[in-house]
Amino acid sequence: MSLKQNLYSQCQQLVDSRYQVIQKQIADLQQSLSSETKSSAGDKHETGRAMVQLEREKAGHQLAEINKVRLVLSKIDPKTAHTHVGLGSLVFTSRANYYIAASLGPLELDGKTYYAISPETPIGQLLMGKIEKDEVTFNGESFVIEAIL
């Protein structure tokens, strides 16, 4: 399996894991809502239900976000070679290595760190469309694109 395919696989596993956690959280909250019965506490009961409902809505928003990330990942073919930085590119720079996919943070592979970033992040926007040997300045620090896969 190629380096890009390994990174892509790690991204998918991270997203799938987060998706499952959120799904379980929603199921647990739904269970809490449906199992709560009216108690003599009255207002306390209603406050508790409202809190659970707010948590449910929050989890629903998280689920929507993770589904957006899944959609972006589905558009990437890790076997595609790139000459310009774009979605699915693996970019080696004199500063760090970036995998342009989704904002998932650092990925470790063979003792090296690759940062999975979204094209919409500030650094992602700077890198998009660039080619090898282009110089980029981010936060006052310049670095060179050494290779793009």
- 137/42 Cα distance (integer angstroms): 60
* The dihedral formed by the CA atoms of 59, 62, 68 and 73, expressed in degrees to the nearest 10: -110
Residues with Cβ within 8 Å of 121's Cβ and at least 6 positions away in sequence, in order, are 103
- 120/46 Cα distance (integer angstroms): 41
- Which residues, given as ranges, of the chain have pLDDT below 50? 40
* The dihedral formed by the CA atoms of 83, 84, 90 and 93, expressed in degrees to the nearest 10: 100
What predicted TM-score, i.e. pTM, was given to this entire model? 0.86
Q: What is the pLDDT of residue 62?
A: 96
Q: What is the pLDDT of residue 22?
A: 96
Q: What is the pLDDT of residue 46?
A: 77
The single residue listed with the structure tokens 């500063």 is 95
Q: In the predicted model, what is the mean pLDDT of the chain? A: 92
Q: What is the pLDDT of residue 103?
A: 96
- 49/109 Cα distance (integer angstroms): 44
Q: What is the pLDDT of residue 1?
A: 79
Residues with Cβ within 8 Å of 113's Cβ and at least 6 positions away in sequence, in order, are 96, 97, 106, 107
CB burial readout 108-119, b (16+ within 10 A) else e: eeeeeebbbbbb
